[in-house]
Amino acid sequence: MNLLLDEIARATARLADAGAASPRADAEELAAAVHGVNRSELHKVPDNAFDARFWEYVARREAGEPLQHITGRAFFRYLELKVGPGVFVPRPETEVMVGWALETLRDMDVRDPLVVDLGTGSAAIALSIALEAPRARVHAVEKDPAAFVHATRNVEELDERGRVRLHLDDFASALGELDGTVDLVVSNPPYIPMSEWEYVPRDVRDHDPADALWGGGDDGLDAIRAVERTARRLLRPGGYVAVEHSDLQGNGVYWTFAEENGWRDVRNRRDLTNRDRFVTARLGTD
């Protein structure tokens, strides 16, 4: 048997005992990162090339350190992003919201759509839109300096056409010069209520930045309310907004985009597990 595959099997058992949600995938990703290959190429690593640092990585994962912090990379749609301490690790469920955003941009009769990503973190959303909707111009806002460093590095490495512009600012007040001109606002803001602290996985609450997790207010929706106000200010009549939330907040977020504030076509949309995950709305033209 290939030595590395044998060690991966042992590591999988250790990570399972430690409570990892996906022990086999974690072990394979750690091995791939250490040996500089893709997961599909692990079987090609010769026995004499086995790197003992693999077990250091496994021990860190056992101790609860996020996989992406250990490997320094996270995968999101078609991107490989640089991540680490100080920046929120993008999750697969957010990819569904980005897919909706891209479909909406394709359906717009706009030559060069203007998009704003509020609370960009690693710039995963902004870069995905810039890559997959090549005529889009994307402004990405992030107020945390540590996260902004990661976003800057990712944009510099991946935005070959220069379609993403980063802003170190608070999204509640940013981009006043774009008021009334934006076609699409998208955001994955902090939304977890502090009352849910004990239910949040340890590797998330201990390692993701607090400002990217806890949304404020008894219901965790203060940041989403700020997104609503900013989107209402930025969007042109007929422009759209999409904002992510937890699977228990769909009703509260739905009513945040109230008709009396000009919102139309408000919809709760589901992720790949069929749970409420993000709300979309259109700013009325009347």
Same structural domain for residues 49 and 177?
no
Quote the domain boundaries for residue 25: 3-63
Same structural domain for residues 145 and 188?
yes
- Residue 68 falls within a domain, yes or no? no
- Residue 162 falls within a domain, yes or no? yes
The active-site residue, picked from 189, 193, 257, 278, is: 189
Look up 251 and say whether it is catalytic.
no
Determine if residue 46 is labeled as part of a ligand binding site.
Answer: no
- Residue 69 falls within a domain, yes or no? no
Determine if residue 62 is labeled as part of a ligand binding site.
Answer: no
Segment 105-153, tens digit of pLDDT: 999 989 999 999 999 999 999 999 999 998 999 999 999 999 999 999 9
Look up 268 and say whether it is catalytic.
no
Same structural domain for residues 117 and 211?
yes
The active-site residue, picked from 54, 90, 188, 257, is: 188
- Residue 71 falls within a domain, yes or no? no
Q: What is the reported pTM? A: 0.92
Same structural domain for residues 153 and 276?
yes
Q: Based on the structure, what is the number of domains in the chain?
A: 2
- Residue 240 falls within a domain, yes or no? yes
Which residues of the chain fall short of a pLDDT of 70?
Answer: 1, 196-200, 214
Q: What are the φ and ψ backbone dihedral angles of 266, each rounded to 5 degrees?
A: -70, 130
Per-residue pLDDT, 76: 96
Look up 50 and say whether it is catalytic.
no
The active-site residue, picked from 54, 76, 88, 278, is: 88
Per-residue pLDDT, 218: 80
Same structural domain for residues 122 and 12?
no
Same structural domain for residues 113 and 197?
yes
Determine if residue 29 is labeled as part of a ligand binding site.
Answer: no
Contacts of 156 (CB under 8 A, 6+ apart): none
Tokens of 117: 């990503």
